Structure 1
Amino acid sequence: MKRREFVQYAGLGAGALMMPSLLLGNNISAEALLDPGMDVAIKKALADVALNTAKSLGASYADVRIGRYLNQYVFTREDKVQNVVNTESFGVGIRVIANGTWGFASTNNVSDDGIKKATNQAVAIAKANAKIQKEEVKLAPVESHGEVTWKTPIKKDFKEVPVSEKVDLLLSANAAAQQNGANFVNSALFMVNEQKYFASTEGSYIDQDVHRIWPTFGVTAIDRSTGKFKSRQALSAPMGMGYEYMDGLASEKIKGPDDLILYRNSYDIIEDATMAAKQAKQMLTAKSVEAGKYDLVLEPNHLGLTIHESVGHPLELDRVLGYEANYAGTSFATLDKWKSKDFEYGSNIVNLVADKVQPGSLGAVGYDDEGVKTKKWDLVRDGVLVNYQAIRDQVHMIDQNESHGCCYAQSWNDVQFQRMPNVSLEPGKEKYSIDDMIKDVEKGIYIAGRGSYSIDQQRYNFQFGGTVFYEIKDGKIVGMLDDVAYQSNTQEFWNSCVKICDESDYRLFGSFFDGKGQPSQVSAVSHGSSTARFNGVNVINTGRKI
């Protein structure tokens, strides 16, 4: 897949750089996806080969991950199927501590001999690293779980749904968009199944079956008399669900302003594509925004990206400590701010939580890639910074003795390290709807969906766009706007949060392509929120020439 094609599908430019890593693996048939794979008893026996070999070579700790990663992607444009991709990647990653230092090796030779050879290599690397390591690795204790399993609670396995049905659905969405004014439309369906087996010298043997799905599209409307064109991306969210997400149940829809339909826990791609085509045509004649201060009403599909960049990344402990710097920078939220116990990250209604157990989210698993049972914890409580995201060899640096359970590797071939969990804004406690919020705004803008964005190397100063924009005047929606982006800094922005809708409006945004590390890896993560209002935010006009 070419990079420019992926940008059209994903709408997240940074994610485009990550696409090749997701496509790695052997091409297989759709039918081969249904192969149940290796029996769990065989996985346990192979894992014990690695663990016993590591201990015999002097490792004080070892863990092994046997991973089978199945992917199916369907791509269409207008009335044509562009591609159907089915891939499988299968192998073993072995991580050890020897002489107080980490070592890692992997192999796709999933046999006793292949695993012994890779384990020898991992131990040798650890011992070589120990010669220059200044401090020994300190691991927080973890419970031994014995033999356990965890599965994403899906209702419909994508692998069992015929490709023809998926193609028909995407082409129907394309046709609906064209019938309602779109000149060009492309659509895609990304489906992932991670079958992961983890074992460690601490006595855990964990078998997990993780499912994720992401439908998306982009429509473009053209005014041929002027040559002007406008595009509108899907308002779907990637989800940790099965193919039932595509059922589009009416009870899961939320009414937004000006007949905008928003989705939660299920998705109607045909309806969204129809709406997108009409809105793209409206955008061609939308009024260009006047720059100035506005109260912003931000819906969850939009606000999730702002949360990701201004909360999720800066509260990763390795960024805070400066260990992660080259990929997307460090963090303004330094340890002195946390230690003060009174750093005002946001207003007193802002409660931001990290969560690895949230149903339907991309980050939901039973155990992380260190065998730690996952959980939910506070990052910002009543506006005050109270914690970070940290794993077993990091938590002692913030005077804690329990991992947060947010360690992850994108495949068996990659070493696991600290990754962002789901990071979400808690809904308001009082009954309060989108309509109620709009009625309370004199001069504002309602923003839905993601757009272009920029943030500095410390995750502080930023600019965000969106997909669709509506002007609010004296408590009413008065029309669509164009050329809108807002600028702020993280602390100023979250302190301007004055109202949050209740849990009936709570929805998830997500990304398959959260990038981090060198060599770079991607992870899938969700961000939940209800619609929220931010007062007095600086809005610029992105269409004006200077």
Structure 2
Amino acid sequence: MKRRDFVKYAGLGSGALMMPSLLMGNNISAEALLNPGMDVAIKKSLADIALNTAKTLGASYADARIGRYLNQYVFTREDKVQNVVNTESFGIGIRVITNGTWGFASTNNVTEKGIKKATEQAVAIAKANSKIQKVPVKLAPVKSHGEVTWKTPIKKDFKKVPISEKVDLLLSANAAAMKNGANFVNSGLFMVNEQKYFASTDGSYIDQDVHRIWPTFTVTAIDRANNKFKSRQAMSAPMGMGYEYMDGLDSEKLDGPAGMKLYRGSYDMVEDAIMAAKQAKERLSAKSVEAGKYDLVLEPNHLGLTIHESVGHPLELDRVLGYEANYAGTSFATLDKWKTKNFKYGSDIVNLVADKTQVGSLGAVGYDDEGVKTKQWDLVRNGVLTNYQAIRDQVHMIDQKESHGCCYSQSWNDVQFQRMPNVSLEPGKEKYSVNDMIKDVEKGIYIAGRGSYSIDQQRYNFQFGGTAFYEIKNGAIVGMLDDVAYQSNTQEFWNSCAKICDKDDYRLFGSFFDGKGQPSQISAVSHGSSTTRFNNVNVINTGRTI
């Protein structure tokens, strides 16, 4: 399944059938999700079996990850429940360095016997691979953290919320959409709890409890007389939060242009569904855009996907080095550009940061899957490319001595490798609202929500659509547009960045199922920004053919 297809279809009930079987795990009851799992003292003793066995067999380094991955997915369509899925996956993954070479093995037999066998396999693999390894693995040092814990700061555990309450919420949103003009609506709730225990020969024993949630829907309105239909996706963002995200109690509703309701804090799904139905109907009669150059006003739920594809992926060091090309290629942002220390990735106001600590984000954890304490660091500062995303065995390649803490595995059964942290655009420093921005635009388009996209194999030339489009003329919204997509290249686009709203407009977008690697793995990552203006960008009409 390609990443772009996950973005398109993950909100549908049928999305459950498209997910990797390992992500789903073994089917269990909703009550079994509440099982507290293995005691941390037992995890430590079992992890020590792996570490001691590895050292006895000659490994110079070893780490063990005991993981329990719990998922609950609820899918509905109109007035019916399509599916409720509860799964659990449990096991241990063991990674070693022997003779300067990595080896990895895993097992769901989490007993002394099973762990010893898997460790022996990991060491044997490393020794076999070492015969063709030309350059030994070089790990950046990491301090011993001892025994520590980290938890997503949730207020309400989704596992304790009755399924009936979740179903009622989805069906209420569906009913609200149908009452306001929708002909079809699919909705879903994705809820994840990762209980991860990491131990290494560096002396760290780290127990983490990670929560994520994603409410989503797709509303469709039909014009039967003209054989047309238009859809609008939810304006929700996947979040690293508990079920309190769905309460709407702490929702800060930002009034966007043309009556748009945008959300920060918790999410009002019913209100968003009402607006979605109205906008889907409005799109049926919206004016088709005239191709040409426009100033684009991009809201965070839309801009997050552009950041993801044109900044997040091309600044992964393995893509830059050509070690990774799966899921859409390598990178134009090669080391020679970085070494000049003056490569203009964007305009002077563009500051892009990587961050694994941002509260509420999908990528927020205390420690990565190598036991490195997470942090924030610059990727682009004042428009200049300053750094990449790198892990323990990569940072020496860019003359750095400390891992960035962005190593991750989708499960105990997969080896950890470099994954994108949260990558975000810093808000503007001066007071400046969306309405202020629109007043400053003579000929432009306001774009909200993500849509279809395409990007080339070096993450350079691209095309992005969206969910809702509004024409701006002489400083005012004058009506809805349709058939809008913009084209640019990464450097040209970010250098056209002319203005960024302040922190009061800052919000998160998220990708729940971001794919990378071969064999492929998924991860969850957020991208924050305020509404941002890009000047003189090429817009095409996607509804017309030549």
Is 1:444 equivalent to 2:444 in the alignment? yes
- In structure 1, the residue matched to 2:118 is 118
Equivalent position amino acid for 1:149 in 2? T
Equivalent position amino acid for 2:145 in 1? H
CA contact (8 A) 1:63 1:199 kept: yes
Shift of 1:226: 1.0
Equivalent position amino acid for 1:202 in 2? D
Shift of 1:264: 1.0
Q: Where does 1:311-390 land on structure 2 (aligned, <5 Å)?
A: 311-390=311-390
Q: State the alpha-carbon separation in 2 of the partners of residues 23 and 424 from structure 1.
A: 27
Cα distance change of structure 1 residues 251 and 410 upon mapping to structure 2, 3 Å threshold: closer
Deviation string 1:30-70 (CA, Å, 9 cap, x unpaired) is: 00000000000000000000000000000000000000000
- In structure 2, the residue matched to 1:207 is 207
Q: Where does 1:255-294 land on structure 2 (aligned, <5 Å)?
A: 255-294=255-294
TM-score calculated relative to the size of structure 1: 0.98
Q: State the alpha-carbon separation in 1 of the partners of residues 8 and 308 from structure 2.
A: 21
Q: State the alpha-carbon separation in 2 of the partners of residues 150 and 539 from structure 1.
A: 45
Cα distance change of structure 1 residues 520 and 531 upon mapping to structure 2, 3 Å threshold: same
Is 1:91 equivalent to 2:91 in the alignment? yes
Q: State the alpha-carbon separation in 2 of the partners of residues 10 and 198 from structure 1.
A: 30
- In structure 2, the residue matched to 1:67 is 67
Equivalent position amino acid for 1:325 in 2? A
Q: Where does 1:48-447 land on structure 2 (aligned, <5 Å)?
A: 48-249=48-249, 251-447=251-447
Shift of 1:280: 0.4
Shift of 1:434: 0.3
Shift of 1:326: 3.0
Q: Secondary structure at the match of 1:138?
A: coil
Shift of 1:6: 6.5
Q: State the alpha-carbon separation in 2 of the partners of residues 156 and 188 from structure 1.
A: 19
Q: Secondary structure at the match of 1:225?
A: helix
Equivalent position amino acid for 2:306 in 1? T
CA contact (8 A) 1:212 1:239 kept: yes
Q: State the alpha-carbon separation in 1 of the partners of residues 191 and 45 from structure 2.
A: 30
Structure 1 residue runs without a partner (length 5+): none
Once superposed, what is the RMSD of the aligned Cα atoms? 1.6
Q: State the alpha-carbon separation in 2 of the partners of residues 267 and 377 from structure 1.
A: 29
Cα distance change of structure 1 residues 489 and 17 upon mapping to structure 2, 3 Å threshold: farther
- In structure 2, the residue matched to 1:467 is 467
Q: State the alpha-carbon separation in 2 of the partners of residues 425 and 277 from structure 1.
A: 30
Q: Secondary structure at the match of 2:114?
A: helix
Deviation string 1:80-121 (CA, Å, 9 cap, x unpaired) is: 000000000000000000000000000000000000000000
Cα distance change of structure 1 residues 72 and 122 upon mapping to structure 2, 3 Å threshold: same
Q: Secondary structure at the match of 1:333?
A: coil
Equivalent position amino acid for 1:43 in 2? K
Shift of 1:5: 10
Equivalent position amino acid for 1:449 in 2? G
Q: State the alpha-carbon separation in 1 of the partners of residues 377 and 402 from structure 2.
A: 12
Structure 2 residue runs without a partner (length 5+): none
CA contact (8 A) 1:7 1:16 kept: no
Shift of 1:7: 6.5
- In structure 2, the residue matched to 1:529 is 529
Shift of 1:265: 1.9
Deviation string 1:303-349 (CA, Å, 9 cap, x unpaired) is: 00000000000000000000001331000000000000000000000
Equivalent position amino acid for 1:503 in 2? K
Shift of 1:529: 0.1
TM-score calculated relative to the size of structure 2: 0.98
Q: Secondary structure at the match of 1:83?
A: strand
Cα distance change of structure 1 residues 236 and 414 upon mapping to structure 2, 3 Å threshold: same
Q: State the alpha-carbon separation in 2 of the partners of residues 504 and 129 from structure 1.
A: 53
Cα distance change of structure 1 residues 493 and 5 upon mapping to structure 2, 3 Å threshold: closer
- In structure 1, the residue matched to 2:454 is 454
Shift of 1:24: 2.9
Equivalent position amino acid for 1:528 in 2? G
- How many equivalent pairs are there? 543
Equivalent position amino acid for 1:90 in 2? F
Q: State the alpha-carbon separation in 2 of the partners of residues 347 and 183 from structure 1.
A: 44
Is 1:489 equivalent to 2:483 in the alignment? no
